């Protein structure tokens, strides 16, 4: 299925600690149905020094979020919306906002769906 959320999308988180926050998608994990959003779902990993002299400590990172827990932000609606697909006259497949019908972005969607 073609991805409803792709890299560089602005998404809003629908559930959990970061609910209501927006961020940019930095990574998509299609097989896991998860996305990594910049600055959101921050977790701290406690690491031990692996070699003598190496610093031990806490490493902060953005943990993946389930795709179903985020919504793409429509630039027209200014809010998270559901996304559909349609074909333009020239055959290019685009994502559209289900609410206002506007094209979410001009970027081509992969043709696997
Ligand atoms: Zn919209």
Q: What is the pLDDT along the chain (113 residues), one digit of tens a residue?
A: 678 999 999 999 999 999 999 999 999 999 999 999 999 999 999 998 888 888 889 999 999 999 999 999 998 999 999 999 999 999 888 999 999 999 987 555 555 54
Helix (H, G, I), strand (E, B) or coil at 89: coil
87 strand-pairing partners: 93
Residue 44 lies in a domain: yes
Q: Write down the pLDDT at residue 2.
A: 72
Distance 98 CA to ligand 1 centre (A): 7
Q: Please tell me whether residue 105 adopts helix, strand or coil conformation.
A: strand
Q: How far is the CA of 72 from the centre of ligand 1 (A)?
A: 10
In the DSSP assignment, the letter for residue 64 is: -
Q: Is 5 inside a domain boundary?
A: no
> Shortest CA distance to 72 belongs to which of 85, 62, 84, 81?
81
Is the residue at 103 inside a domain? Answer: no
Is residue 95 in a domain?
no
Q: What residue has token string 């149905």?
A: 33
Within a domain: 112? no
- Distance between CA 81 and CA 33 in Å, rounded? 18
What spacing in Å lies between the alpha carbon of 73 and ligand 1's midpoint? 8
Phi, psi of 72 (to 5 degrees): -70, 135
Measured in angstroms, how far is the CA atom of residue 111 from the centroid of ligand 1? 23
Containing structural domain, residue 66? 10-81
Query: From ligand 1's centre to the CA of 81, what distance in Å?
Result: 7
pLDDT at 1: 61
Classify residue 65: in a domain, yes or no: yes
Query: Could you give the number of structural domains in the chain?
Result: 1
Cα-Cα-Cα-Cα dihedral sign, residues 38, 44, 50, 52: positive
- Whichever domain contains 17, its CATH number is 2.30.30.30
Q: How far is the CA of 101 from the centre of ligand 1 (A)?
A: 6
- Tell me whether residue 40 is in a domain: yes
| Distance from the alpha carbon of residue 105 to the mean position of ligand 1, in angstroms | 11
Would you say residue 99 lies in a domain?
no
| Cβ-contact 103, 95 below 8 angstroms | yes
């Amino acid at each position: 299925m073609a991805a409803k959320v792709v890299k560089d999308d602005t998404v809003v988180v629908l559930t959990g600690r970061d609910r209501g926050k927006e961020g940019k998608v930095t990574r998509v994990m299609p097989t896991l149905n998860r996305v990594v959003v910049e600055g959101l779902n921050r977790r701290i990993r406690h690491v031990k020094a692996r070699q003598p002299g190496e610093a031990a400590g806490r490493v902060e990172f953005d943990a993946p979020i389930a795709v179903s827990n985020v919504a793409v932000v429509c630039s027209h609606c200014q809010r998270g919306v559901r996304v559909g697909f349609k074909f333009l006259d020239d055959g290019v497949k685009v994502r559209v906002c289900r609410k206002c019908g506007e094209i979410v972005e001009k970027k081509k969607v992969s043709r696997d769906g």
